Each structure stands twice: as structure tokens, then as C-alpha cells.
A and B are shown apart, each in its own frame.
Chain A
Amino acid sequence: MNQTHPGTRLIGTLLAATLASGVLGGCVVHEQKPMQRIAAEKATFEVAEDELLDVGVRLFDPNIPRDEAEQEKQRIFPEVRNAESRYMPMLLRDTLESTGQWGQVRVLPRDGTGMEVFVDGRIVESDGRELELDIVVSDVAGRTWMRRTYKGEADTRAYKEVVSKPRDPFENVYNTIANDLLAARRAMPQAERQQLRQVSDLRFASDLAPYAFSGYLAKDRKGVYTVARLPAESDPVVQRMQRVRERDYALVDTLNEYYASFGGSMAEPYTSWRKFNYEELEAESQAKREALTRQVLGAVAVVGGIVAGAETSSSAASAAATAAVIGGMYAFKSGLDKRAEIKIHTESLKQLGDSFQNEVQPMVVDVEGRTLQLKGSAEQQYAEWRQLLRELYENETGLPATAGTAAPAGQP
């Protein structure tokens, strides 16, 4: 009977594992299964006018740590994040708009107001491989609809180069948010939904002419606004206010054009950056796994070989034990070599981020500059309209225009 010494079997297994690790480790391809797509629910019939709430997606919070060391540790490139905080709301806007479930959907500045529903977001993670967003949805009356974290992995099909109509790799995340937003709207009592438009109008009016309009709104203990009564449509102040509001929409539209233009400029380089970043992250992860495997297996083989060599008396087993020690040392060393490969990937990621950051920074500066400039001149115009509304009110009522100011619509 041909019996094998237990120590020899162990050494054989270790050698096989070590060799397999060494041979196969370098050529494993990390294939990702096709990701199941989540569709955003679209309107299949005409949505009632009073259900078509206007949605404002505010620029996201880029969530950049102040400490540079922390930025580096988390691999956050500030200018990339700043760009993403403007780009992602556009994608969400497009998603919401494409469903046909909403009225106007606009991207707003961080302090933007004037809509009926507001989406605020915070970027937790975004590296091309994974996207994590904290999303808060509220309405103009002051209710919070939902507060959730969304996390998704990249659909790598979006990174394929030959695609006639590329999708965003994180489309599932945006579609899920859109579906949850819709569900939240549906869960809301109809009467509350229908009052949002009036509340929005009155909050806008109260912001511009509080002496004339603040009495039309009531605020409960939770800070939620309700309509106490409605002003007469024939009121001259109401009529002028409506014309001011139309300009407010035009301003929002123009700001939105800036963001859309920015998004258009950024789309291509951003997709490229995410694609390469994804590849480097995957390569780095794989190198880390391999390094660890080789070092562990190498160490085990060395120890096993030494133990087996000490226990065996046969020359064949002794030779095998020696081979295991040598193989283990080789595997351990190749594990160390892999560490060098990891460094290369890490450096590549940094270079990619720096390069994209340099590319996108002027775009961010440009869109921010234009936005501020337009908002600045609009504010001057609004100040004049406030004054005219005041004069008109005093002329119409013969009363002095004095009243406390209300919080701008969209802000509690």
C-alpha cells in the first residue's frame, strides 16, 4: 500500500495553492455580472394639473473635509467634488423630468427657492465605482417627505466605449430616488398636495411684500405652513406680484441653463475620469487581494515546510518540505512585489484625480461666477420691485407698509 506521510500531503497542498496563486493571480479578470436596471416610473396617463408639483433640485453638498490630509485619505479631490455637486443634480433633474410625473423640474442654487418640492443632496462617496448620496426631500410648506441614503455600484456597461447612447453608470441610483419621490408624493394626502402651489405663491409673495401677504399663511407648531385665506385676484398688488413671479421663473430658468451648459461640458471628461478611476480601483483592489493571499500562503508554506521537515525522516519528504519552504518564500516575496503594484495603482488614481481636477476647475469657476453675477444683478432688481410693491400697497390701501418679514419660500 502506498501511504503518504501527512506532512507531505500538507506540503503538496500548500505548494499547489502557492503555485496556483502565483500563476493565476496575475491573470484573473474581475468580471462584473450585468446589473439589473431599475426603471424610473413614468406617467402612463396625463397627470392632473394640481399633481404636477414643481421640483427644485438644489446643488448638492460636496461634503469636502476641510483637512487636506483627510481629503487625501478619503481620495476626495475638492474640485471634482465641487463639479459633481453641480453635475449630479442635473442628472437627477433629467431623471425626474423624464418621468412626466412632475411639473417644472429645475436645478437651483444651494439657497434656491420658489418651487413646491425641494431635493437636497449630499455626496457621501463618488469614485466611479460606487456612488452614495444622502437625500432629503421637503416641500415649500415645511414638511420633510423623506430622508434617505442611496448607494449604488457602477453599471460598467456605461463605461464601454462603443455605446450609441451612454447611460450614466449610476442611473439606478437616480431612478430609485425618482421612484421614492413619487411614492412619497402619492403617500401625501391630496389636500396637502394641492395646497402646495398656493403656499408656494404666498410664501414668495410674503417674502417680497410681507406687509401685504404674511397674513394669508398660518404656521403650525411643527413649522408647517397652511393657507389661512387667499388674496383677491383683482388686487393690484397681487397682479404685479404675479408678474414679478414670472421673472423669478425666468431667472431660475436662466440659472438652470448655466448648470445644463456646465453639465454638457463636463459630461465627457467626467465619464472618462470615472471609467479610468473605476479600472484603477479595481486593479488596486485585485492587487491588494493577491498581495495578501500570496503573503499569507507563502508564510503558511514556509512554516508548514519547516514543521514537516522537522517531523519527517524520509529523504523524499524532506526534499518536498525544503521545496515548500522555498516556494513559500517565493510566494511571500511575490506578495511583497504586489505591494509595489498597489502603490502604482494608488499613484495612478492620484494622477487621474489631479488631472481631471485641473480640467474641471475652470468650468466650475465659470459657472459659479456667472451664477453669482446673475444672481447679484437680479437681487438689485428684486430690491427695486420690493420698493415698487411697497409703494403700490401704500397707494392702494393708504396704509404704511410695515410688517415682519417672512422666511423665503422653501426655507423653514
Chain B
Amino acid sequence: MTSEDRRAQIDRRFDETFAVFDERMRREQETISQERAARGAGSGQGSASEPGDAGEGDEGDATGESGDEGDAGLESGEGPSAGGMPGGRGQPAGGATGEQGGGGGVGGGGPLGGAGPNAVPADIPDGRDDDIVARQLREAAMKETDPELRERLWEEYRQYKKSTQ
């Protein structure tokens, strides 16, 4: 067996194990997503103060303080973005196996990929009731550095939200 053949053999094993791993992560995230959805349905979206809702804007308060907690456009903890990318540094899941990646949605894109904290247009809702598709669109838009493409993604997001209401 040549070195090339051996490398190809090792790569095949890599791909197989990556596929198994990615599938496991995808299933886990799907389960968590379903659990969250069930909890949300059972408790009317649950508590607004629960961890993972940090991206929510703040209504300020009656004491005249400034709205110091304005929405940073993040979507933390809003469930997994199945089909999204592994978190890391916003890197694509890559690889030739079409792996699922996963938890990019955990922390939300936020400042990744050059999308600054003000990257969410004003008319975009907070995303707490996003389903998995909306979440993917939101994440993709937040991570997109190209302004034109980003706007197209936000438009997709708007259209999708309309269609689900």
C-alpha cells in the first residue's frame, strides 16, 4: 500500500467517525430543542429571565435610567441551530461529509464574522419564538459580513416569520 493509499484509508476512517459524531451531536441538539419547545409551550414561553435569554432587549425601568441593556442582537441559548456550524469562531463545519455541525446557535452569532452588535435591523423581533428554520436564518444573517447578502438573509427571515404567523 502506498503512502497515498494509506492516507486515503485514514481519511475515510476520519470521515466515518466524523459522520457518527456529527449525527450524535445533531440528535442531541434536536432532543434539547424539542424539550425546550415543549417547555415553552407548557409554560407560556417560560420565564423571561431564564439563562439563555440574554439577547432579549430590556425595557428599562421606571427610575429614569437609560436602557443600559439594549439588545445586542444576540440569541444566546435559544436552542440549537441544527444544520448550523460548530460554534468555535464561526467557522463553517467544513469537511466533505456534509456533517451537521450543530451548536452555533448556542451562543448566537453575536460579534462573529464581523457582524457587530448592531447588526440586527430594528424591525427584527427578538427571536424568542423562532423555530429551528428561523433560527438558522437569523444566525446566518448575524454572521454574514457582506451587507448585501446579510440584508437578503434578513429579508428571508422576515418572509419566513410572516409565513409562520
Contacts and interface: CB of A to CB of B under 8 A. Distances in A.
B51 A264 contact: yes
A199 interface: no
Contacts of A208: none
Contacts of B14: 240, 243, 385, 388
B89 interface: yes
Contacts of B102: 250, 253-254
Interface string B20-54: 11101100110010011001000100111111111
Interface in A3-57: 34, 37, 39-40, 42-43, 45-47, 49, 52, 54
A267 B47 contact: yes
B48 A166 contact: yes
Contacts of A97: 54-55, 72, 74, 76, 107-108, 110
Given A43-B111, A43-B116, A264-B39, A90 B52 contact: yes
Contacts of A240: 11, 14
A351 interface: no
A288 to B, nearest CB: 31
Given A52-B112, A247-B18, A43 B117 contact: yes
B54 A95 contact: yes
B21 A374 contact: no
Contacts of A101: 111
Nearest to A245: B88
B148 interface: no
A250 B22 contact: yes
A94 B17 contact: no
B47 A271 contact: yes
A250 B101 contact: yes
Given A94-B53, A94-B54, A392-B7, A106 B107 contact: yes
A230 interface: no
A72 interface: no
Nearest to A86: B51
Given A250-B25, A264-B77, A91 B51 contact: yes
B93 interface: yes
Contact of A42 (B35, B36, B76, B117): B117
B49 A267 contact: yes
Interface string A252-278: 111011111101111110010000000
B61 interface: yes
B94 A395 contact: no
B147 interface: no
Q: How large is the interface on A (under 10, 10 to 19, 20 to 34, 35 or more residues)?
A: 35 or more
B80 A395 contact: no
A336 to B, nearest CB: 42
A246 B72 contact: no
B7 A395 contact: yes
Interface string A356-394: 000000000000000000100110010011001001100
Contact of B116 (A100, A245, A381): A100
Contacts of B54: 93-95, 97-98
A215 interface: no
Contacts of B43: 268
A166 B61 contact: no
A99 interface: yes
Interface string A86-125: 0100110111011111111110000000000000000000
Nearest to B111: A100
Contact of A267 (B24, B29, B51, B87): B51
A250 B7 CA distance: 25
A223 interface: no
B76 A93 contact: yes
B106 A260 contact: yes
A34 to B, nearest CB: 6
Contacts of A47: 111, 116
Contact of B51 (A93, A102, A167): A93
Nearest to B11: A240
Given A46-B116, A236-B7, A392-B7, A247 B103 contact: no
Contact of B94 (A246, A260, A385, A391): A246
A45 B114 CA distance: 11
Contacts of A99: 72, 117
B22 A396 contact: no
B58 interface: yes
Contacts of B21: 247, 250, 378, 381
8 contacts: A40-B69, A47-B111, A90-B77, A93-B51, A100-B116, A257-B80, A264-B46, A385-B14
Interface of B: 3, 6-7, 10-11, 13-14, 17-18, 20-22, 24-25, 28-29, 32, 35-36, 39, 43, 46-56, 58-59, 61, 63, 65-66, 68-70, 72-74, 76-77, 79-80, 85-89, 91, 93-95, 101-108, 110-112, 114, 116-117
Given A90-B51, A164-B48, 10 more contacts: A43-B72, A94-B52, A98-B54, A100-B74, A100-B111, A103-B112, A246-B86, A250-B87, A377-B24, A395-B10
Give the top 6 A-B pairs by smallest Cβ distance, nearest first. Answer: A253-B103, A94-B54, A100-B117, A263-B51, A90-B51, A39-B68
